[in-house]
Structure 1
Amino acid sequence: MSNRLAYLRRLTASGAVAAALLAPAALVATTAGPALAQEQVQKGGTLNVIVQPEPPILVLGLNQQGPTQTVAGKIYEGLLRYDHDLNPMPGLAESWEVSPDGLTYTFKLRPNAKWHDGTPFTAKDVVFTTAKFLPEVHPRARANFSHVESVTAPDDHTVTFKLKQPFPAFMKAFEVSSAPMMPAHIYDGTDYKQNPKNSTPIGTGPFKFQQWVKGSHIHLVRNGDYYLDGKPYLDGIYFRVIPDAASRALALESGQVDISQYNDVEPFDVPRLKELPHLTMTTKGYEFVAPLSWIEINTRSAPLEDKRFRQALAHGLNREFIRDRIWFGLGRVATGPVNSVTPFHEPDVPEYEYDTDKAEELLDEMGLEPNGSGVRAEITLTPMPYGETWARLGEYIKQSWGKIGVKVNLESTDVAGWVQKVSNWDYQTTNNFVYQYGDPSLGVARTYISDNIRKGVMFSNTMGYSNPKVDELFAKAAVENDAGQRGAQLSEAQKILVGDMPVIWLLEMEFPTFVNKRVHNAVTTAIGTSENFADTWVEKK
Structure 2
Amino acid sequence: MRKETMAIFGLALAIVLCSCSVFSGMTVASGEKVVKFGGSTLGGDFGYPSPYAFYPRGMGYIYLSFCFDTLTWKDETGVIPWLADSWEMSDDGKAWTFHLHRGVKWHDGEAFTADDVKFTFDYMKEHPRPKWFKTLEYIDRVDALDEYTVVIHLKKPVADFLVTIAGDVPIIPEHIWSGVEDPKKFRGKEAVIGTGPFKLVEYNKEEGYYLWEANEGYFKGKPLVDKLISTKVSDTALALKTGDLDEASLWRKDTDVVTEFEANPKFKIIEGPGYWVLQLVFNCEKYPTNITEFRHAIAYAINRSEIIQKVVHGGAIPANPGILQPGTEWSNPDLPGYEYNVTRANEILDVLNFTDSNGDGIREYPNPTGEELEFELITIDKFSREAELIKSQLKEVGIRVNVKSMDKSTVDTILKGGNFLLAINGHGGCSYPDILEIPDWPASTYHNDSYDSIFDKQATTMDFEERKQLVYQLQAMITDDLPVYALYHPRRWAIYNPGKLDTWFYTKNGIAHGIPYELNKLVFIGAEAPATPMATATATPTSKPVPTPKPPGFGATLAIAGLLTVAYLFLRKRGR
Q: TM-score range by the shorter chain?
A: 0.7 to 0.9
Letter in 1 for 2:104: A
CA 70–249 in structure 1, closer or farther in 2 if over 3 Å, else same: farther
Query: Match of 1:281, SS?
Result: strand
Q: CA deviation at 1:193?
A: 2.7
The match for 1:369 among 348, 351, 355 is 355
Query: Match of 2:418, SS?
Result: coil
Q: Corresponding residue for 1:113? A: 104
Q: Corresponding residue for 1:133? A: 124
Q: Based on CA coordinates, which of the two structures has the bigger radius of gyration?
A: 2
- Residues in 1 aligned to 2:266 and 2:191: alpha-carbon distance in whole angstroms: 35
- Residues in 2 aligned to 1:507 and 1:422: alpha-carbon distance in whole angstroms: 20
Q: Corresponding residue for 1:227? A: 219
Q: Corresponding residue for 1:238? A: 229
Which stretch has the larger CA shift, 411-420 or 122-131? 411-420
1:434 aligns with 2:427: yes
Query: Match of 1:512, SS?
Result: strand
Query: Match of 2:400, SS?
Result: strand
Q: Corresponding residue for 2:33? A: 45
- Residues in 1 aligned to 2:453 and 2:331: alpha-carbon distance in whole angstroms: 18
1:517 aligns with 2:498: yes
Alignment of 1:95-114 (within 5 A): 95-114=86-105
Query: Match of 2:151, SS?
Result: strand
Letter in 2 for 1:250: L
Which stretch has the larger CA shift, 182-191 or 64-73? 64-73
Q: CA deviation at 1:536?
A: 4.9
Do the aligned partners of 1:71 and 1:530 also contact (CA within 8 Å) in 2?
Answer: no
1:418 aligns with 2:418: no
The match for 1:303 among 288, 296, 303 is 288
- Residues in 1 aligned to 2:285 and 2:430: alpha-carbon distance in whole angstroms: 28
Q: Corresponding residue for 2:519? A: 530
Q: CA deviation at 1:298?
A: 0.9
1:117-174 Cα deviation digits (max 9, x unpaired): 1111111111111221366242155421211111111111122111111221212114
- Residues in 2 aligned to 1:494 and 1:205: alpha-carbon distance in whole angstroms: 37
CA 326–280 in structure 1, closer or farther in 2 if over 3 Å, else same: farther
- Residues in 2 aligned to 1:162 and 1:119: alpha-carbon distance in whole angstroms: 27
CA 520–207 in structure 1, closer or farther in 2 if over 3 Å, else same: same
- Residues in 1 aligned to 2:360 and 2:189: alpha-carbon distance in whole angstroms: 59
CA 146–507 in structure 1, closer or farther in 2 if over 3 Å, else same: same
Letter in 1 for 2:362: V
User: For structure 1, which runs of at least 5 residues remain unmatched after alignment?
Assistant: 1-42, 449-458
1:47-73 Cα deviation digits (max 9, x unpaired): 011252223212144323344334332
Q: Corresponding residue for 2:478? A: 497
Q: Corresponding residue for 1:261? A: 249
1:380 aligns with 2:375: yes
Q: How many residues align?
A: 473
Q: Corresponding residue for 1:152? A: 143
1:447-495 Cα deviation digits (max 9, x unpaired): 36xxxxxxxxxx3443x11122111211221222333332222222221
CA 412–332 in structure 1, closer or farther in 2 if over 3 Å, else same: closer
Q: Corresponding residue for 2:333? A: 347
CA 411–369 in structure 1, closer or farther in 2 if over 3 Å, else same: same
CA 84–316 in structure 1, closer or farther in 2 if over 3 Å, else same: farther
RMSD of equivalent CA atoms: 2.7
Q: Corresponding residue for 2:301? A: 316
- Residues in 2 aligned to 1:329 and 1:148: alpha-carbon distance in whole angstroms: 44
Alignment of 1:266-277 (within 5 A): 266=254, 269-277=257-265
Q: Corresponding residue for 2:64? A: 72
CA 175–267 in structure 1, closer or farther in 2 if over 3 Å, else same: farther
Letter in 2 for 1:164: K
- Residues in 2 aligned to 1:194 and 1:424: alpha-carbon distance in whole angstroms: 24
- Residues in 1 aligned to 2:485 and 2:409: alpha-carbon distance in whole angstroms: 24
CA 96–494 in structure 1, closer or farther in 2 if over 3 Å, else same: same
Q: CA deviation at 1:262?
A: 6.2
CA 121–137 in structure 1, closer or farther in 2 if over 3 Å, else same: same
Do the aligned partners of 2:374 and 2:400 also contact (CA within 8 Å) in 1?
Answer: yes
Do the aligned partners of 1:127 and 1:151 also contact (CA within 8 Å) in 2?
Answer: yes
Which stretch has the larger CA shift, 93-102 or 191-200? 191-200
- Residues in 2 aligned to 1:265 and 1:52: alpha-carbon distance in whole angstroms: 17
- Residues in 1 aligned to 2:109 and 2:282: alpha-carbon distance in whole angstroms: 50
CA 482–175 in structure 1, closer or farther in 2 if over 3 Å, else same: closer
CA 196–497 in structure 1, closer or farther in 2 if over 3 Å, else same: closer
CA 254–113 in structure 1, closer or farther in 2 if over 3 Å, else same: same
Letter in 2 for 1:323: I
Query: Match of 1:154, SS?
Result: strand
1:184 aligns with 2:174: yes
Letter in 2 for 1:499: D
- Residues in 2 aligned to 1:69 and 1:486: alpha-carbon distance in whole angstroms: 27
- Residues in 2 aligned to 1:405 and 1:292: alpha-carbon distance in whole angstroms: 27
Q: CA deviation at 1:216?
A: 6.8
- Residues in 1 aligned to 2:450 and 2:36: alpha-carbon distance in whole angstroms: 50
CA 420–174 in structure 1, closer or farther in 2 if over 3 Å, else same: closer
Do the aligned partners of 2:300 and 2:339 also contact (CA within 8 Å) in 1?
Answer: yes
Query: Match of 2:349, SS?
Result: helix
Q: Corresponding residue for 2:240? A: 252
CA 428–256 in structure 1, closer or farther in 2 if over 3 Å, else same: same
- Residues in 2 aligned to 1:314 and 1:403: alpha-carbon distance in whole angstroms: 13
- Residues in 1 aligned to 2:385 and 2:439: alpha-carbon distance in whole angstroms: 26
- Residues in 2 aligned to 1:275 and 1:206: alpha-carbon distance in whole angstroms: 34
Do the aligned partners of 2:253 and 2:315 also contact (CA within 8 Å) in 1?
Answer: no
Letter in 2 for 1:373: D
- Residues in 2 aligned to 1:265 and 1:95: alpha-carbon distance in whole angstroms: 43
Do the aligned partners of 1:187 and 1:195 also contact (CA within 8 Å) in 2?
Answer: no
Q: Corresponding residue for 1:9? A: none
Query: Match of 1:77, SS?
Result: coil
CA 218–484 in structure 1, closer or farther in 2 if over 3 Å, else same: closer
Alignment of 1:450-465 (within 5 A): 459-462=441-444, 464-465=445-446
Letter in 2 for 1:513: A
Query: Match of 1:408, SS?
Result: strand
CA 274–199 in structure 1, closer or farther in 2 if over 3 Å, else same: farther
The percent of aligned pairs where both chains have the same amino acid is 25
1:472 aligns with 2:458: no
- Residues in 2 aligned to 1:311 and 1:140: alpha-carbon distance in whole angstroms: 30
1:170-211 Cα deviation digits (max 9, x unpaired): 1211476x3111111110131223335457621111122223
- Residues in 1 aligned to 2:430 and 2:334: alpha-carbon distance in whole angstroms: 22
CA 45–396 in structure 1, closer or farther in 2 if over 3 Å, else same: same
